[in-house]
Amino acid sequence: MALTHHPILVISMTAAADLTRNRFIGADGDVCAAGALAAGIGEYDVAAGEQASVNAQGLIIVEAGAAVAVGAQVESDANGLAITLDTGIANGLALDAAAASGDLIRILR
């Protein structure tokens, strides 16, 4: 199944590190830290120093870092991947299930 996204707020920021698409990005332009609040999800792979297009709100595709159930709130792991909320800050609500790390799912944020 092809996933579609519908971002309603897209921001740009200077990438502080090489960024991978569909992963959480922190407010500092780096990969989002584990459990931290994300500025959004990167839309493209971006090299450090370049402008990154970041989907901040809407229906957004993110890469999972583990299995995630539909309806679960998700947080970022240390690699900017979506995992089921544990002790961090919620960065969205899963609209799809992920069976394993590397699966792409849609979240609402």
> Residues 12-38: pLDDT tens digits?
999 999 999 999 999 999 999 999 999
Work out how many domains the chain is built from and give that number: 2
pLDDT of residue 91: 98
Q: Tell me if 26 is assigned to some domain.
A: yes
Query: Does 51 lie in the same domain as 75?
Result: no
Asked whether 22 and 54 are in contact (CB, 8 A), the reply is no
If pLDDT is split at 50, 70 and 90, which confidence band does 2 have? confident
pLDDT of residue 89: 97
80 vs 1, higher pLDDT:
80
Q: Please state the φ and ψ torsions of residue 7, each to the nearest 5 degrees.
A: -70, 140
Query: Does 50 lie in the same domain as 12?
Result: yes
Residue 97 has pLDDT above 80, yes or no: yes
Q: Tell me if 13 is assigned to some domain.
A: yes
pLDDT of residue 103: 98
- Look up the domain containing 77 and give its range: 62-108
If pLDDT is split at 50, 70 and 90, which confidence band does 9 have? very high
Query: Does 69 lie in the same domain as 53?
Result: no
Q: Tell me if 1 is assigned to some domain.
A: no
Asked whether 57 and 109 are in contact (CB, 8 A), the reply is yes
Query: Does 25 lie in the same domain as 37?
Result: yes
> Residues 35-91: pLDDT tens digits?
999 999 999 999 999 999 999 999 999 999 999 999 999 999 999 999 999 999 999
Asked whether 105 and 98 are in contact (CB, 8 A), the reply is yes
**Prediction pTM value:** 0.96
